[in-house]
Amino acid sequence: MIYLTQAQEDLYNIIKNKPGIMWSEMAAAYNRKSTSEMIKILVQKGAIRRKGTRSKYRYYTVDIEYKIQDRRNRGNDCADPIAIMHRNAVFTAAQRRYVKSNKDKPRTQLAKELGMSKLEFNSAMEKIGGAT
């Protein structure tokens, strides 16, 4: 299963309703500046395929299961452990006090002393709006 934005689904449906559509027809029907970029993304995701020579590609949909990615909820279905770590990084009250009392130390050292990665530390700092 893949995730598509609403705009990607709109373009996918245009292609699905007219198999073998050419880029010029698609651009006219889609009526957005980002048609070329959106096509690249859909091809990379495996939602559409193209046939033909470079200047005369025809586009076809691939029967694939997809979900619409909610714009407000982009990272919630993410299985990337780094993104999850970034989203969940917060300081405890004791860690916050320690950071405030050691503002002169570099972030790398503070992160190490708190048992966090520097990414986690920076993410937590960003959430509290602090700068050391």
Residues 57, 29 within the same domain: yes
Whether residue 130 has pLDDT greater than 80 = no
Residues 82, 120 within the same domain: yes
Domain that holds residue 51: 2-72
What is residue 79's predicted lDDT score, i.e. its pLDDT? Answer: 59
Check residues 62 and 129 and name the one with the higher pLDDT: 62
Whether residue 59 has pLDDT greater than 90 = yes
Whether residue 75 has pLDDT greater than 70 = no
CA torsion 32→37→39→41, rounded to 10°? Answer: -130
Residues 67, 88 within the same domain: no
**pLDDT tens, 76-119?**
555 567 777 777 788 888 999 999 999 899 999 999 998 888 88
Phi, psi of 67 (to 5 degrees): -125, 150
Structural domain tally of the chain? 2
